[in-house]
């Protein structure tokens, strides 16, 4: 019996799927809407199925045969318990494993090598693998985690703008852009921040990097604080034996020059993306060992 493999990279803004032959050769890719299994499992299930069917169609395959396929899904919020079990039960595949978005990113970036990835985006999470053992650090979300993330950098910029507004800190160009955006009204900034989701704070992060490049002292201080938290996490990865680190996520290119000199020689370009990683895990679990199928 021939069956296909599916890799899914499910995120808060979109869900990507790839269909592959049992040997892992990717036949087609496709994309659908958000797949956050924690905040909205029904929509996630529907978009996961849509992306998979679209990939099958794109490959010239009958979309209904996704029901015979084996899949590995990488999803944000996978470590939050009940939602995973619920989604797993209702997935339209013959067999499926749900993993963290961090693990499929690691597999995509490093292939089967040992090493680590630092995913620096709206949030931050660190994943390392040594001799089959996978370990995580960070990734606890905006409220008391995700240090160094875009959301935290944006948050620190807005906080700084209030200190400048009150006269407690000296002004700087990057802070002035924020103050004029909010009509120099501290109450508007506070109101925005009270409602803002992590992604909305995170939209300020690239601006902080850009102004720091141009010599803005406040932007540079905020990024020095942020990179310190990243370097502390990288120290942990190194202590665990990592000899290769890939920076991933939207802020990776921005962060590259801010990483401490002691880590620069460990930084490497990723081999592939998270979707490639999901497919590779599907091959390892379902492609080469058909006897392990459910």
Tell me the torsion sign for CA atoms 270, 274, 275, 280: positive
Rounded to 5, what percent of the chain is helix, strand, coil?
50, 20, 30
Quick note: the x/- pattern for a second copy over 96-125, rule CB under 8 A, is ------------------------------
Alpha-carbon dihedral angle through residues 41, 43, 45, 49, given to the nearest 10 degrees: -170
- The answer to whether residue 89 forms part of the interface with a second copy (CB under 8 A) is no
Identify which of residues 31 and 169 has a Cβ nearer to a second copy in the complex: 169
Are residues 4 and 18 in contact, defined by beta-carbon separation less than 8 angstroms? no
CB under 8 A: which stretch of 21-29, 48-56, 91-99, 231-239 binds a second copy? 231-239
Quick note: the x/- pattern for a second copy over 46-85, rule CB under 8 A, is ---------------------------------xxx----
Residue ranges in 260-289 that form contacts with a second copy under rule CB under 8 A: none
Best CA proximity match to 62, nearest among 1, 3, 8, 17? 3
- Residues near 11 by beta carbon (within 8 Å), at least 6 away in sequence: 34, 35, 36, 75, 76, 101
Residue ranges in 157-186 that form contacts with a second copy under rule CB under 8 A: 158-159, 162-163, 166-169, 186
Q: Token digits for 155?
A: 């948050």
CB under 8 A: which stretch of 12-20, 36-44, 130-138, 216-224 binds a second copy? 130-138
Identify which of residues 62 and 235 has a Cβ nearer to a second copy in the complex: 235
Q: Which residues of 248-286 are buried (b: 16+ CB within 10 A; e: fewer)?
A: bbebbebbeebbeeebeebbbebebbbbbbbbbbbbebb
Task: Determine the size of the site formed for a second copy (CB under 8 A).
Answer: 31
- The answer to whether residue 228 forms part of the interface with a second copy (CB under 8 A) is no
Residue ranges in 142-161 that form contacts with a second copy under rule CB under 8 A: 143-145, 147, 155, 158-159
* Contact residues: a second copy, CB under 8 A: 79-81, 136-138, 140-141, 143-145, 147, 155, 158-159, 162-163, 166-169, 186-187, 189-190, 193-194, 232-233, 235-236
């Amino acid at each position: 019996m021939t069956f296909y493999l599916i890799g899914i990279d499910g995120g808060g803004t979109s869900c990507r799927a790839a269909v592959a032959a049992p040997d892992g050769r990717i036949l087609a890719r496709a994309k659908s809407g958000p797949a956050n299994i924690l905040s909205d499992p029904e929509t996630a299930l529907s978009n996961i199925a849509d992306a998979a069917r679209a990939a099958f169609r794109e490959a010239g395959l009958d979309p209904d045969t996704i029901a015979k396929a084996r899949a590995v899904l990488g999803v944000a919020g996978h470590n939050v318990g009940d939602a995973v079990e619920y989604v797993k039960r209702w997935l339209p595949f013959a067999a499926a494993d749900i993993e963290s978005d961090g693990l499929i990113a690691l597999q995509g970036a490093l292939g089967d090598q040992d090493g680590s990835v630092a995913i620096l985006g709206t949030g931050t999470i660190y994943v390392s693998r040594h001799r089959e053992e996978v370990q995580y650090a960070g990734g606890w979300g905006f409220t008391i985690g995700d240090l160094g993330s875009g959301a935290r950098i944006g948050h620190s910029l807005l906080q700084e703008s209030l200190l400048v507004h009150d006269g407690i800190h000296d002004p700087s160009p990057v802070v002035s852009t924020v103050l004029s955006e909010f009509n120099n009204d501290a109450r508007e900034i506070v109101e925005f921040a009270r409602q803002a989701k992590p992604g909305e704070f995170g939209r300020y992060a690239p601006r902080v990097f850009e102004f720091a490049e141009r010599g803005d002292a406040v932007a540079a201080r905020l990024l020095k604080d942020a990179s310190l938290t990243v370097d502390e996490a990288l120290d942990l990865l190194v202590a665990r034996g990592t000899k290769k680190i890939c920076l991933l996520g939207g802020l990776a290119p921005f962060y590259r020059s801010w990483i401490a000199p002691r880590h620069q020689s460990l930084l490497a370009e990723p081999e592939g993306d998270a979707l490639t990683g999901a497919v590779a895990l599907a091959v390892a679990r379902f492609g080469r060992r058909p006897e392990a199928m459910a």
